[in-house]
A = this chain, B = another copy of it.
């Protein structure tokens, strides 16, 4: 079952690796829901109801990085193997630095002047440089580790919070989650790149914001549910936070009347940090490689840690 967007040559590439496979499309399953009961392999996501019916499912490969959809009771109880596509490190680290540099160089002010055809610039005290600042990366997975490398190139010091507090290239110090607040105290810039799991829910709460230095800049490119939105707004209003860059929010989509939209010094990009033109090609290539491994009985790439929840 192909249950996600895909590059048009994917069916023929599947056929060349698995000539005997019957390919079911998203629209087929919409028309005849019982087809999901026959499926051995899924490329894409399933709803909770589909997980309940997919008795035959052995392996599901997601084109996304986030595996939130696999945390439902039905998915959690399912004995299939779940894999994900690690293709987001470059694009998401670039998006994160786009937001961070835009906040430091006040491109929002520049954009507003430009809309008014007005030759004017921010005040001296409104602009700043990354060089010399400390970046605290909360969630130093594949994406966070590339951010650490880029931050070092920009002359930043890097500290990280990781579930397994292993030494991490480009990070001066790595803290376990129990020492989150200690790590946050050192971050001029704090970046959350956390998956949505029971452990990470509202991990960045009022106490976490209180631990950050005055005037810290906060960014979230992981999942909106890992941040307490009311506490975030309060931290922005009190001046504890100087600015925030959010690619994800809670709730999502953010309703039109939500106060975050108009809060000064907030940059919102609507959950597209992972978008790049070759996305479907690259995600499809990981699926095809995993399909080859699946048929050969080899170890799959990007296997989800079901206990950790991502």
Contact yes or no, B91 A129, CB < 8 A: yes
A125 CB within 8 Å of chain B:
yes
Contact yes or no, B269 A130, CB < 8 A: no
Contact yes or no, B98 A275, CB < 8 A: no
CB within 8 Å for A276 and B129 given contacts A98-B104, A114-B268: yes
Counting contact residues on chain A (CB < 8 A from B), the size range is: 35 or more
Within 46-98 of A, Cβ neighbours of B (below 8 Å) are at 90-91, 94-95, 97-98
Contact yes or no, A270 B119, CB < 8 A: yes
Q: How many copies does the complex hold?
A: 2
Contact yes or no, B105 A107, CB < 8 A: no
Choice from B99, B101, B275 contacting A97 with Cβ under 8 Å: B101
Give per-residue flags for A252-266: 1 if the beta carbon is below 8 A from chain B beta carbons, else 0.
111011100110000
Contact yes or no, B101 A94, CB < 8 A: yes
Q: Give the docked Cα–Cα distance between A248 and B18 (Å).
A: 57
Chain B residue with Cβ nearest A262: B117
Give per-residue flags for A164-208: 1 if the beta carbon is below 8 A from chain B beta carbons, else 0.
000000000000000000000000000000000000000000000
Give per-residue flags for A138-166: 1 if the beta carbon is below 8 A from chain B beta carbons, else 0.
00000000000110011100000000000
A16 CB within 8 Å of chain B:
no
Contact yes or no, A272 B101, CB < 8 A: no
